[in-house]
């Protein structure tokens, strides 16, 4: 974990209410895909936890949806604007169990952390299959980017305006070695009920500090209480106590 000053390189809208911001700064603490950063915003007391979409030396990409005041202010960032950012938060995905054909399942703004994951899995020689679920055509982003990485991609929309009509569970292939997922809770629970292999879930909770001090985001797991920010946000399927 490290607190650093990041400078906005670019910021643009990529779907309805969804923005992609590229920042420059010290990314040395970001170790795994699926980790997150906590961004301080002028005039708001708490920082905003946002997942890492992409990261290379000195450059960080985040994608977020405008849902309130904080993300509203972030959407207005112009090149040169500076943010204090806590980096290297959370555990991130464990790539060692992926196998040759991992399945990546993302819903809405749960898609971004899967991008760096896909990149790293491909570097390791896997061939990921990515299912991306959105409500409608105007919400879709990053399908081409995943294809460019070398993933097989299926897009679903609830209203059928693009790709397969339905939910991510309607587009899941039958043959995969392991799965990784991130998205809204109802989607995660549907994936939990439908998948037959083991896999990893990235969860979201309302957080206080983001680094394990306040116990604001603790969930009960098979291994006792765990902090989503520090012990997670990624949990193994077997740790979750969901009743489907």
Partner 1 sequence: MEDLRVNLCGTELSNPVIPASGTFGFGYEFAELYDINILGTFSFKGTTREPRYGNPLPRIAECEAGIINSIGLQNPGVDKVISEELPKLKKCFGKPVMANISGFSVEEFAYTCGKLDKEPQVGWIEVNVSCPNVHGGGMIFGTDPKAAAGIVAAVKKEVKKPVIVKLSPNVTDIVSIALACEAAGADGICLINTMLGMRINLKTKRPVIANTMGGFSGPAVFPVALRMVWQVSSAVKIPVVGCGGVSSAEDVIEMMLAGATAVEVGCANLVNPYACKEIIENLPGAMKKYGITGLSDIIGGAK
Q: Which chain residues interact with partner 1 by CB under 8 A?
A: 1, 3, 40, 44-47, 86, 205-209, 211-220, 225, 230
Residue 184 or 212: the one with the smaller Cβ distance to partner 1 is: 212
Residue 12 or 206: the one with the smaller Cβ distance to partner 1 is: 206
Residue 89 or 155: the one with the smaller Cβ distance to partner 1 is: 89
Residue 120 or 226: the one with the smaller Cβ distance to partner 1 is: 226
The minimum distance between CB 129 and partner 1, in angstroms, equals 32
The minimum distance between CB 208 and partner 1, in angstroms, equals 5
The minimum distance between CB 2 and partner 1, in angstroms, equals 8
Quick one: CA torsion of 37, 113, 142, 64, rounded to 10 degrees? Answer: -30
Residue 58 or 208: the one with the smaller Cβ distance to partner 1 is: 208
Is-cis flag, bond preceding 233, omega within 30?
yes
Taking CA atoms, 228 is separated from 34, 92, 149, 231, 235, in Å, by 12, 11, 29, 6, 9
The minimum distance between CB 4 and partner 1, in angstroms, equals 11
Output the CA torsion sign for 79, 82, 88, 93: negative
Output the CA torsion sign for 225, 186, 132, 79: negative
The minimum distance between CB 218 and partner 1, in angstroms, equals 6
Residue 160 or 208: the one with the smaller Cβ distance to partner 1 is: 208
Tokens 């569970």, located at residue: 169
Q: What size, in residues, is the chain?
A: 244
The minimum distance between CB 64 and partner 1, in angstroms, equals 16
Using CA atoms, how far apart are residues 76 and 78, in angstroms rounded to an integer? Answer: 6
Taking CA atoms, 50 is separated from 3, 9, 42, 112, in Å, by 15, 17, 16, 10
The minimum distance between CB 204 and partner 1, in angstroms, equals 11
- Spell out the alpha helix ranges (H) of 2-157: 69-75, 112-123, 143-149
Residue 30 or 121: the one with the smaller Cβ distance to partner 1 is: 30
> Where are the strands (E) in 1-117, listed by range?
2-15, 18-24, 36-39, 48-51, 54-56, 59-65, 82-89, 102-107
């Amino acid at each position: 974990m490290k607190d650093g000053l990041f400078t906005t390189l670019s910021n643009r809208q990529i779907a309805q209410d969804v923005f992609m911001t590229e920042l420059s700064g010290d990314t040395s603490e970001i170790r795994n895909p699926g980790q997150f950063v906590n961004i301080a915003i002028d005039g708001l007391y708490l920082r905003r936890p946002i997942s890492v979409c992409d990261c290379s030396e000195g450059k960080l990409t985040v994608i977020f949806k405008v849902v309130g005041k904080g993300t509203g202010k972030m959407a207005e960032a112009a090149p040169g604007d500076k943010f204090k950012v806590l980096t290297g938060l959370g555990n991130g995905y464990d790539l060692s169990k992926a196998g040759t054909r991992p399945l990546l399942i993302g819903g809405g703004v749960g898609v971004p952390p899967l991008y760096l994951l896909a990149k790293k899995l491909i570097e390791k020689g896997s061939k990921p299959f990515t299912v991306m679920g959105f409500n409608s055509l105007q919400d879709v982003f990053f399908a081409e980017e995943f294809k460019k990485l070398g993933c097989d991609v299926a897009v679903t929309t609830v209203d059928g305006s693009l790709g397969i009509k339905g939910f991510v569970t309607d587009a899941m292939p039958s043959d995969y070695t392991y799965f990784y997922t991130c998205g809204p809770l109802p989607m995660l629970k549907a994936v939990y009920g439908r998948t037959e292999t083991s896999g990893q879930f990235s969860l979201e909770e309302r957080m206080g500090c983001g680094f394990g001090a306040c116990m604001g985001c603790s969930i009960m797991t098979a291994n006792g209480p765990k902090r989503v920010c520090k012990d997670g946000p990624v949990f193994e399927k077997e740790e979750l106590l969901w009743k489907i």
